[in-house]
Amino acid sequence: MIFGLDTTLGDETMADARTMLSSDVGWARYAAYLASDPAAKALFKELGYAAAIWATLATTPRILRALVEAFRLKKRWPWTPPEAHLARPLADLRAEYGIRVI
């Protein structure tokens, strides 16, 4: 993934935050996606909202860093990357967009 995160709960929380802050999807569109996506709904149901809130609170320092990083981006990462991006090295894409792994 472009933001250098894995599938642990903390990194999934960060992936959501970085997607909303550093891509062109925006808060409203991403929230609508989470509310309508069956996989996201199933995950929240399995995890529970209390655990999701706890994970967000535990990740707050990293989310604040993501907020700072969002302001220094050269341009926002596209929610749906062009096909041409698949053949490019991650380092080149991160340099082009100004994305730093945090």
Q: Break the chain into its structural domains and give their ranges.
A: 9-97
Nearest to 12 by CA among 43, 48, 49, 46: 43
Q: How far is CA 93 from CA 10, 41, 58, 84, in A?
A: 24, 31, 29, 11
Question: How does pLDDT run across 58-73, given as a tens digit for each residue?
Answer: 999 999 999 999 999 9
Q: For the whole model, what pTM was predicted?
A: 0.83
In this predicted structure, the answer to whether residue 42 has a pLDDT above a threshold of 90 is no
